A and B are shown apart, each in its own frame.
Chain A
Amino acid sequence: MDATQPLLLAEGITKRFGALAANDHVDLRVMPGEIHALLGENGAGKSTLVKIIYGLLRADAGRLLWQGRAFAAESPRAARRAGIGMVFQHFSLFDALTVAENVALSLDDAGTAKDVAGRLGDVSRAYGLPLEPAREVWRLSVGERQRVEIVRCLMQDPRLLILDEPTSVLTPQECEGLFETLARIRAEGRAVLYISHKLEEVRRICEAATILRGGRVVERCDPRQETAGSLARMMVGGDVPALRHDHMLAETPVRLAVSALSLPASDAHGIALRDVSLAVRQGEILGIAGVAGNGQDELFAAISGEVLSPSVAVAIDGVAMGQADINERRRKGAAFVPEERLGHAAAPRLRLTENALLSGHATNGFVAQGMVDRGRLRSFVDGVVRAFDVRKGPADPEARALSGGNLQKFVVGREIARKPGLLVVAQPTWGVDAGAAAIIRQALADLAEQGSAVLVISQDLDELLEIADRIAVMFVGRLSPAVPVTEASRESLGLLMGGAES
């Protein structure tokens, strides 16, 4: 094969969803043996483009050339046959099925699980990615699940491997392992299309980059020649305001204390909390790092009161509240923002005013004698919308009509508007554009400066290193002691995230 001929060439790809142009005349050129970064904010059109390449979506206009020949993937099956493999961001695995069954499903020529076990062993040995074929996927860690995804792609012997945000769920050490695997894949002459918004790692492992903004290609560059800052400016199209936050390490009163909290797992897929203790002081931001699925959801539920615990295990402003329900804790001055925006923090098909009522009915005076005061709700929502620059279109839209960033600003804003003494927030900027993320982080920092205690649970280590004053790490239901951010390093935290003893 001619090394100067592009492996994949996309020309003028256009895809519309209603009025929105998710891809607007996008061009992309991936060379053989190249790790090519596809950069852009959430909603820039990265996922749409790779779904078109992988045959999951069909372009409205434009054409694809694969090894110099016109190519239109009718289906993922056709894409796989041509030599394109894809690892999804939200893993496309079947929890109740075994590893071998999952692999068999992704191989078009394979029969049943029995037939693939041998080949599975070969490939996983060759790439140093150990797997147990007979294990059910729900028993695997996040890193192991990604291994399943990568192995089953490699078993198809692809020329091009598409990876969608592969490192967002890994510890720094697991990332290193992934990079080694990628180096081996490249050495075999295969190409990788690497979607990410982590700019440092893109600079390290990619030799070409295409940057998307608002569905258009805005820049093509060699990331090794750029800085993280210059890449960020290309993605965002301007400067993102830097966070103003002075780290606070004074011995102020403790507002939230969790003491020796142990809770059994609620179901077979859950994580048990084991002897978790933490304290958040007035005026500080405590960060909890960790790979998803290590008990963060369970900890959030126990602190918020969605799940009750022994009375003394959770104390707010010195009062034991483990047996108090979420609204009693809210009346005590606490506020909560769960990770899942739609379905947990907000009900998709209810209006914004109703979603304000959702978390504020016990504390904000929206209800008198069982009747809802709609006027008060409307003015409250107007206040939040103004303070957090929520772009919402119609006067009182349903929550599902808002973009991710705007809805996140609303659900964070509706809690901060109450000036809570304690704010517990999970994944404050997950899947949110840079502008909205900056507004949210600044609001958290300002809230702490005004004397509230803020607890941030996040998978994004960079985010925690930026806004937290102290950081603790969660691993399989245990929480490490918190260390001041000034004394923490990515490496030491990464080891804790991978389960090393502190």
Chain B
Amino acid sequence: MRLVMEKRSETPLWLMVVSPLIAVGLPVLAAIIMFTLLGKDPARALYVYFIDPISDSWGLQEVAVKATPLVLIALGLAVCYRANVWNIGAEGQFLLGAMAGGWLAVITHGSTQGPWLLPAMMMLGALAGACWALIPGVLRTRFGANEILTSLMLVYVAEYLLDYLVRGPWRDPGGFNMPQTVIFEPEAVLPLLMEGGRLNIGTPIMLVMVVAFAILMGRTLKGFEIRLVGEAPRAARFAGFSEKGLVLTVFAISGALAGLAGMLEAAGTVKQLQPGISPGYGFTAIIVAFLGRLNPVGCLVAGIFIAITFIGGENAQIMLRLPLDATRVLQGLLLFFVLACDSLLLYRFRFVREARA
């Protein structure tokens, strides 16, 4: 008996639905093994990880707050990956957005501005993210430099830039030499949606974006262009679409979304700039994008799921003394299983008997 792979000519619908579920189920199984190896009660660990975060209103709000940047970034990355453009520097674009939005909050600090301030910060954040993302975009279209490496290298550059700013020119003079800016004025902080929580208007903005991107990818010619360039570049040229133009477009789109997410995080959750402003949202969003099968609505569901593991991981660190990195292992495994399940969609696996000749 041998196991062989055959290309499917058509992917059945049930498999498209079931495969992400398998992809989630297997890492949970792996997590149980890992918890056991680390000497923790797996049932309790699973409860802390997956159930506790969504068992009360406070937890649900936290999940929404964490999911917001993840989904926003993942929406843009999904567009990129659909077009076969490998932007893995969303973390840097996120930081640039936070810095650009934060810059406006810092220089207007101590004076009263109008209601224009927040929209201006958002625009600035998105613009800065887009510009930062266009660097690897231009380097690829103009010089053919590999965008995977250049976009990633720019993450380190962005981190050092933020570090420099909050230790140098933008440091809070009254902050006991801590590397951070002033706390933003109330009018530079995102309004809360309800009293006594942390849920702010960032979340509805994210939901609007999900709908917008679902329409863009599913219904418009632009969405078709993005998919075609990724699927068959030569056919895209035959359709009269410019690959270079599209590479720049998707870089700009994903950079703008990551930048917007960074600005929302700075002005909504953190309310100042500091080096640790992102717990790796830009990298985790890569997992969200794939888990969501590069589909906008899928990204929303996947983002919520990953946000739960984020909160669960923090809880587990406190309650079970599990290392925080255990969450990253879990997320890494998740991405592995998602990719493995994607192969199930493209190929059929079959046992064949050896012929006796």
Q: Which residues of B contact A354 (CB under 8 A)?
A: 224, 228
Residues of chain B within 8 A of A61, CB atoms compared = 355
Q: How far apart are the CA atoms of A347 and B233 in the complex, in Å? A: 9
A340 proximal to B (CB < 8 A): yes
List the one stretch of A244-252, A358-366, A441-449 in contact with chain B: A358-366
The reply to whether A359 and B239 contact each other, CB–CB distance below 8 Å, is yes
Annotate B224-244 by CB proximity to A: 1 below 8 A, 0 otherwise: 100110011011111110000
Docked complex Cα distance between A367 and B246 (Å): 19
Q: Does B44 contact A (CB under 8 A)?
A: no
A400 at the interface (CB under 8 A from B): yes
A238 interface residue, CB < 8 Å from B? no
Pair B219/A306 contact, Cβ less than 8 Å? no
Which of B220, B227, B348, B355 has the most chain A CB atoms closer than 10 A to its own CB? Answer: B355
User: Is A144 located at the chain interface by the 8 A CB criterion?
Assistant: no
Q: Which residue of chain B lies nearest to A18 when distances are taken between CB atoms in the complex?
A: B6
Give the contacts of A399-457 with B (CB-CB under 8 A): 400-401
Closest Cβ–Cβ distance, residue A361 to chain B (whole Å): 6
Knowing A347-B235, A359-B239 are in contact, say whether A372-B355 is a contact too (CB < 8 A): no
A327 and B9 alpha carbons, distance in the complex (Å): 31
CB-based contact A348/B231 at 8 Å:
yes
User: CA separation between A218 and B240, bound complex, in Å?
Assistant: 46
Quick check: B228 and A370 within 8 Å, CB to CB? no
Determine the distance from Cα of A18 to Cα of B232 in the docked complex, in whole angstroms: 26
Q: Determine whether B354 belongs to the interface, using a CB cutoff of 8 Å to chain A.
A: yes
Whether A350 lies near B227 (C-beta < 8 A) is yes
Please judge, given known A-B contacts A18-B6, A306-B237, A359-B239, whether A350 and B219 are in contact too, CB under 8 Å: no
For residue A27, give the distance in angstroms from its CB to the closest CB of chain B.
Answer: 14
Residue pair A58, B355 in contact (C-beta under 8 Å): yes
Q: Is A58 within 8 A of B354, CB to CB?
A: yes
Rounded to whole Å, the gap between the CB of A79 and the closest CB of chain B is: 12
**A350–B228 CB distance below 8 A:** yes
Interface check A60, CB cutoff 8 A: yes
On whether A358 and B235 interact (CB within 8 A), knowing A370-B220, A401-B9, the answer reads yes
A488 at the interface (CB under 8 A from B): no
Asked if A397 and B10 make an inter-chain contact with CB atoms under 8 angstroms apart, the answer reads yes
Q: Enumerate chain B residues within 8 angstroms of A357, measured Cβ to Cβ.
A: 221, 224
Interface flags for A2-44 (1: CB within 8 Å of B; 0: not) read 0000000000000001100000000000000000000000000
Q: How many residues of B contact A (CB 8 A)?
A: 26
Across the interface, which residues of A come within 8 angstroms of B352, CB to CB? 60
Complex Cα distance A336/B64, Å?
A: 50
Chain B residues with CB below 8 A from A305, complex form: 240
Residues of chain B within 8 A (CB-CB) of A367 are 221
Is A135 among interface residues, defined by CB-CB distance under 8 A? no
- Which residue on B lies nearest to A327, using beta carbons? B240
In Å, the complex CA distance between A60 and B232 comes to 35
B357 at the interface (CB under 8 A from A): yes
Q: Is the CB of B239 within 8 A of A62?
A: no
Contact residues of A between 318 and 367, Cβ < 8 Å to B: 325-327, 330, 336, 338, 340, 343-350, 354, 357-359, 361-362, 367
CA distance A362 to B228 in the complex (A): 15
Least Cβ–Cβ distance between B349 and chain A, in angstroms: 12
- In the complex, whether B328 has a CB less than 8 A from a CB of chain A is no
A304 / chain B contacts, CB cutoff of 8 Å: 238
Contact check, B234 vs A344: say whether CB atoms are below 8 A apart. yes
Rounded to whole Å, the gap between the CB of A263 and the closest CB of chain B is 16
Cβ of B321 within 8 Å of any chain A Cβ, yes or no, is no
Which A residues are CB-close (under 8 A) to B236?
Answer: 347
Interchain CB contact under 8 A, A64 and B357: yes
A70 within 8 A of B: yes
B232 touches A348 (CB 8 A): yes
A224 at the interface (CB under 8 A from B): no
Q: Shortest beta-carbon distance, B105 to chain A, in Å?
A: 36
- Taking the closest CB of chain A, its distance from the CB of B231, in whole angstroms, is 5
Chain B hits for A345, CB < 8 A? 235, 238
A344 & B240 in contact (Cβ 8 Å cutoff): no
Instruction: Decide yes or no whether A375 CB sits under 8 A from chain B.
Output: no
Cβ of B240 to closest chain A Cβ, rounded Å:
4
**A59 touches which one: B7, B231, B239, B357 (CB < 8 A)?**
B357
Which of A338, A343, A372, A398 has a CB less than 8 Å from the CB of B9? A398
Q: Are A350 and B221 in contact (CB under 8 A)?
A: no
A420 to B240, CA, bound (A): 17
Distance, CA A305 to CA B7, complexed state (A): 34
Least CB distance from A285 to B in Å reads 22
Interchain CB contact under 8 A, B220 and A372: yes
What residues of B have a CB within 8 angstroms of the CB of A340 in the complex?
234
> Smallest CB–CB gap between A156 and chain B, Å?
22
Docked complex Cα distance between A336 and B234 (Å):
14
Answer whether residue A71 sits at the interface, using C-beta atoms and an 8 A cutoff: yes
Given the interface pairs A350-B231, A354-B224, the reply to whether A17 lies near B238 with Cβ below 8 Å is no
Is A183 part of the binding interface, using a Cβ–Cβ cutoff of 8 Å?
Answer: no
**Contact assessment for B238 and A359 in the assembled complex, using a CB-CB cutoff below 8 Å:** yes
Q: Is the CB of A362 within 8 A of B240?
A: yes
In the bound complex, what is the Cα–Cα distance between A61 and B10 (angstroms)? 28
Contact with A along B342-356 (1 / 0, CB 8 A): 000000100011110
Q: How far is the CB of B80 from chain A (nearest CB, A)?
A: 18
* Interchain CB contact under 8 A, B10 and A398: yes
Rounded to whole angstroms, the CA-CA distance of A336 and B352 in the bound complex is 43
A50 at the interface (CB under 8 A from B): no
User: Least Cβ distance of A406 to chain B in Å?
Assistant: 12
Q: How far, in whole Å, are A26 and B258 apart by their CA atoms in the complex?
A: 61
Return the chain A residue nearest B231 by Cβ.
A347
A371 at the interface (CB under 8 A from B): yes
CA distance A276 to B119 in the complex (A): 58
Min C-beta distance of A380 to chain B, whole Å: 15
Q: How far is the CA of A177 from the CA of B56 in the complex (A)?
A: 83
- Set of chain B residues within 8 Å of A336, measured between Cβ atoms: 238
Q: Can you name 26 A-B residue pairings with CB atoms under 8 Å?
A: A18-B6, A59-B357, A62-B355, A72-B355, A305-B240, A325-B240, A326-B237, A343-B232, A344-B238, A346-B232, A347-B231, A347-B232, A347-B236, A349-B231, A350-B227, A350-B228, A350-B232, A354-B224, A357-B221, A358-B238, A359-B238, A361-B224, A370-B220, A371-B219, A371-B220, A372-B221
15 further A-B contacts with Cβ under 8 Å, apart from A60-B353, A71-B357, A326-B237, are A18-B6, A63-B357, A305-B240, A326-B239, A326-B240, A340-B234, A345-B238, A347-B232, A350-B227, A358-B238, A361-B221, A361-B239, A370-B222, A371-B221, A400-B7
In the complex, the 4 A-B pairs of residues with the closest C-beta atoms, listed nearest first: A72-B357, A347-B232, A327-B240, A401-B9
